[in-house]
Amino acid sequence: MNVFIKIYEYFQKHRKYLWCGLGVISAVFIFLASWLKYDENIFDFLPEDKEYAESINIFSTLSESQRIVMIFEGSNPDTITNAIDEVGEYLPDAVTELDIDNFLERLQFVYEHMPYFLDDSDYAALNDKLNVDNIQQKLVSDKQIITTPGTSFLMPSIANDPLQLVPISKIASGQYAVAQSSFASYDGYMMTSDYKMGFAFYDTPYGSMESSQNELLVDSLENICAKISEQHPSVSVRLLGAPVISVANARCIKHDSILAVLLSLLLIIALLFYAFPVKRDILLILFSIAFGWLGGMAVLAVVFDKVSVIVLGIGAVLIGISVNYPLHLLVHQRYTTSIRQTLQEVIAPLTIGNVTTIAAFMALIPLKSSALCQLGVFAAADLACTILFCILFLPHFMQMHNTAIREIHLPLSNKWRKYISFHVTSVAIVVTLIIAALIVVLRPYNLFDANISHINYMTEQQKEDLAFFEKFNASSHQTMYTVEEARDELNHRVEAWNNFWQSQNIEAISDDIFIQAETIGINPDLLQPFISRISTAYEPVDLCSTDTLAALWPGRFNTLAMNTKISNLLSDNFDYVTMVCSCIVLLFLCLSFKSILVGLIAFLPMVLSWILIIALMQIFGLQFNIVNVILATFIFGQGDDYTIFVVEGILYEKITGKPMLKQYKQSIILSAVIMLVAIGMLVISRHPAMHSLGAVVLIGMSAVVLMAYFIPPILFYMCEKIPLVNHQLQKYYSRTK
């Protein structure tokens, strides 16, 4: 630590180098940060392995996920169809009427890949469909279709599947993937069966997740909807679809991120004005935070092409961490006789806490998630730049205060100060709380929520519209698959198809079909494609192509289908982060204090805080998800800062006999209040992901502060009552004097 003292003394004598260095570094940070590009995709938090990349690619390129539905609602079907016609004038590529050609193309594709559309439950009924009575009944129905005027477009269906082995619901897709009893055609327009709601469709050319491009498109479509509503006042027009929901998410994230950071800064500034009599100190704290923030963004711009906006939104939490470093310096300064003495006494806990916090955040970098990796880099760079500013530059702007203004104003009444001091009542409360938490934690509880829809933002109207479509969507009642699961299932279906027909007497079935067809009056040659299909073993298609999978099973791939694996990966990530953070922090504490015993005393409050956190999450019904699971690193990082300062204060008093713990606790209280204010701003976010961040960190930091404040004094007290342990402590005190 002496090197920092020497740097301080050098800059004291060479101020021009200090100013030049600060100016050049700040200019470089600003220049690099200005080049940073932003991404608003919530899926950046998903793990980036091969299967997930394929699944998300399928989800983002499927026509259903690219489709924007324009919903027209009114009381008169003619007025609704007139409004739908207006869409065609604004959007020539929009689908305003039922597309028969699209349906026939889909029909032919299904028949060419028939084995893939039959599952095990279909084969159970297949034998019944092949008996003579059913063959006769189906062919009679086919004859009626053939002889009915205007139904010639259904001839391919009869030729390829006269017995309707593939249920019609499995042929439907896109705008047809709905329960036919709930939707109807009105003069060629798709409407609900009560003719009070009509639909038009438009596919975004940008994919469902390109929020920036889709935002411009949605803005344009919303303007079109407004114009149509003006021309037809009795008809309301609104939008739905994955691109629309993606844009709503991006807007909400952007709004909540900006609001959270601005409100956090305003409230923190107000609190600092209350706490610090000298307003110059407030500016120094803000400069320290700004320098670290710019440094973090500059490093992001160098390392990544673009960064998730959510990562910067979490900056509201990072502000609460980085404010600790200038805060501790400025508070401690009031109890020393020189800036040099302040640095000598505070550099050790500051740097130890900073290094362990940075190391904890760097544990996120190896995770297979671009957003988590970005957060690890941003947090580490932010905190590293903040501590460097505080150690290298901040001391030269600090001023010694006279004794009249040394005390800071804490936002606590004397009554509350009594309960946060170390006495029998507070100790009893904390011990009781820990025991209760242990009891709660023993209950079975699912700590992870893998359902991505729970962290997606939608308006109430979008939720209602989505629920309406999902109620009738054919695919919503089917099993959903990940990519690997889909490949396994499709290969199984080909095998089942070949095995089934190999076990049948194809010649007898063909004879029955041809005889019944001639009797009814259908030309047997018309049915030859079907006979050829069941007589020949099916050769499977290449399932390595995501386009092939998407074409075979539209609507069957969804990020929700990955729930099980996401949950497992969440658990693995959580276990990895907590284990790595624990090992890093424990090792560094033991090395820094040069004592395993003292290192364990400093580490135990963090273990107890996690027990309390999990208990409180169960009580309040909170869960970790793909976004807030990152807070494991944050809570560890901030928890060890507080614990280290308390332990350092206790050791200083034990070794020197001089009071130190009071000023450390003062800065911890002020820092904790600032932290909770900063985090509280995330709780008011409308976006579920941002809100969950705030809620979990609010609980986590409350537990961390409580444990850091009370547990170390309790542990030192207990250790001094055990002769053998007390002997080791006394040797440590003597060795470190």
The pLDDT tens digits for 450-460 are 666 677 788 88
For the chain, the structural domain boundaries read 2-35+247-400+415-450+561-735, 107-173+485-541
- Dihedral, CA atoms, 165, 167, 171, 177, nearest 10 degrees? 180
- Tell me the C-alpha distance between 520 and 523, whole Å: 9
The 3-state secondary structure of 389-454 reads HHHHHHHHCCCCCCHHHCCCCCCCCHHHHHHCCCCHHHHHHHHHHHHHHHHHHCCCCCCECCCHHH
Confidence of residue 173 (pLDDT cuts 50, 70, 90): very low
Cα torsion 409, 315, 688, 226: sign: positive
> Position of tokens 């949605």?
218
3-class secondary structure, 306: strand
As beta bridge partners, residue 70 has 200, 239
Of residues 546, 335, 571, 320, the one with CA closest to residue 449: 571
In the chain the first and final C-alpha atoms are separated, in Å, by 16
What mean pLDDT do residues 399-421 have? 51
What is the pLDDT at residue 43? 59
* Structural contact between residues 111 and 237, judged by C-beta atoms closer than 8 angstroms: no
What is the pLDDT at residue 632? 64
Average pLDDT, the chain: 77
Confidence of residue 476 (pLDDT cuts 50, 70, 90): very low
- Tell me the C-alpha distance between 2 and 571, whole Å: 43
3-class secondary structure, 305: coil
Of residues 200, 188, 232, 185, the one with CA closest to residue 75: 232
Confidence of residue 180 (pLDDT cuts 50, 70, 90): very low
What is the pLDDT at residue 62? 47
Half-sphere exposure of 433 (CA within 13 A, CB side): 20
What is the pLDDT at residue 424? 52
- Tell me the C-alpha distance between 320 and 725, whole Å: 36
3-class secondary structure, 264: helix
* pTM of the shown model: 0.67
Confidence of residue 344 (pLDDT cuts 50, 70, 90): confident
- Tell me the C-alpha distance between 737 and 733, whole Å: 6
Q: How many degrees, rounded to 5, is the angle at CA 167 between CA 161 and CA 173?
A: 105
- Tell me the C-alpha distance between 731 and 655, whole Å: 11
pLDDT tens for each residue of 486-545: 778 888 889 999 998 888 888 888 888 888 888 888 888 888 888 888 888 888 887 766
What is the pLDDT at residue 479? 59
Of residues 228, 284, 213, 266, the one with CA closest to residue 72: 228
- Tell me the C-alpha distance between 123 and 713, whole Å: 71
- Decide if pLDDT at 291 tops 90: yes
What are the CA-CA distances from residue 584 to residues 283, 356, 605, 633, 725 (Å)?
A: 34, 7, 15, 11, 25
- Decide if pLDDT at 58 tops 70: no
- Lowest-confidence range among 158-172, 335-349, 557-571, 591-605? 557-571
Half-sphere exposure of 110 (CA within 13 A, CB side): 25
pLDDT tens for each residue of 609-665: 888 888 888 888 888 776 676 666 677 667 777 888 888 888 888 888 777 777 777
Of residues 326, 339, 341, the one with CA closest to residue 283: 326
Q: How many degrees, rounded to 5, is the angle at CA 91 between CA 178 and CA 60?
A: 55
- Decide if pLDDT at 87 tops 70: yes
Of residues 202, 231, 228, the one with CA closest to residue 217: 202
Q: How many residues does the chain have?
A: 737
- Decide if pLDDT at 570 tops 50: yes
- Decide if pLDDT at 211 tops 70: no
3-class secondary structure, 69: strand
DSSP letter at 41 equals: -
Percent of the chain with pLDDT over 70: 77
Confidence of residue 236 (pLDDT cuts 50, 70, 90): very high
DSSP letter at 504 equals: S
What is the pLDDT at residue 389? 93
Confidence of residue 212 (pLDDT cuts 50, 70, 90): confident
